[in-house]
Structure 1
């Protein structure tokens, strides 16, 4: 049996359960859905559903800044972490430079073998830390980017459904009297 209007808490779920999908309908199917809704509901119920759809859209738009705050915080943290890592890397490179200068001074003074100096410098190479820092930053950036796009598409999907319901209810109100008149004439 069909679900009843008064039995549901959320009108969007009621419409989806009772009338099926209302997205991507052809014009003929949309007109059919409009007639079904008008036949099944009073003008007052349709106005209430329209008002509920508008309230849902307004509420969603009012909460939008609060949902963007976590992404702002995350991007700020990525900037902060990358600054700290870059500072750490620069300090390490400076320390290595100072060590290598001291080694060269000692080489001049004591004649250290060039192969020993090359081994020491290669052991102090910063290629690994640079590569590690870049990988971590890329992972964090990718996670934030993927999270943002998932969030964006879910919000866009839900928002488009709200607007579809609102447009459908407005169309129902526009043709309500005409459809009801035809229904009465068909009964006679």
Structure 2
């Protein structure tokens, strides 16, 4: 979205429009770079461009404070709903493009080695073999916990390109569901 700022020219008394550049959202940046939103968020977190704010259900990825201080990004709040969003400027997009490939390579090196690579390949194989491409993150977390119980939450989060907090929340939900199922099964004996 092209942002324009109107400034009052004190000499002439007229409003002068100043072009602030083409600002885009994180989702638009992801599409521009040919990645999905979750994968782009992971890369931007690796670059310390995004930070996690809030806790639990209220946690969000927001642009880092240093980005706002440099004037590369803006934190916006909609008037119609409670969901904030961020936009980044042309200078930030250029900075990200220069570092993008290195960050992707570093993440792949960390993520796709040893048991993590095996779990990622198994999940992809399961989704392809059984037509489960549209699994939710909660379903993917449960599947990984069932098939690869030795994976840490951090490893699961790197496989799924989500935050560790989200994995923790879904594992807690799964644990509660299993406890209720065991109690229900025991009550029928």
TM bin (shorter chain): under 0.3
Which one has the bigger helix percentage? 1
Higher RCO structure, 1 or 2 (CA under 8 Å, sep 6+): 1
Q: What TM-score do you get using the length of structure 1 for normalisation?
A: 0.21
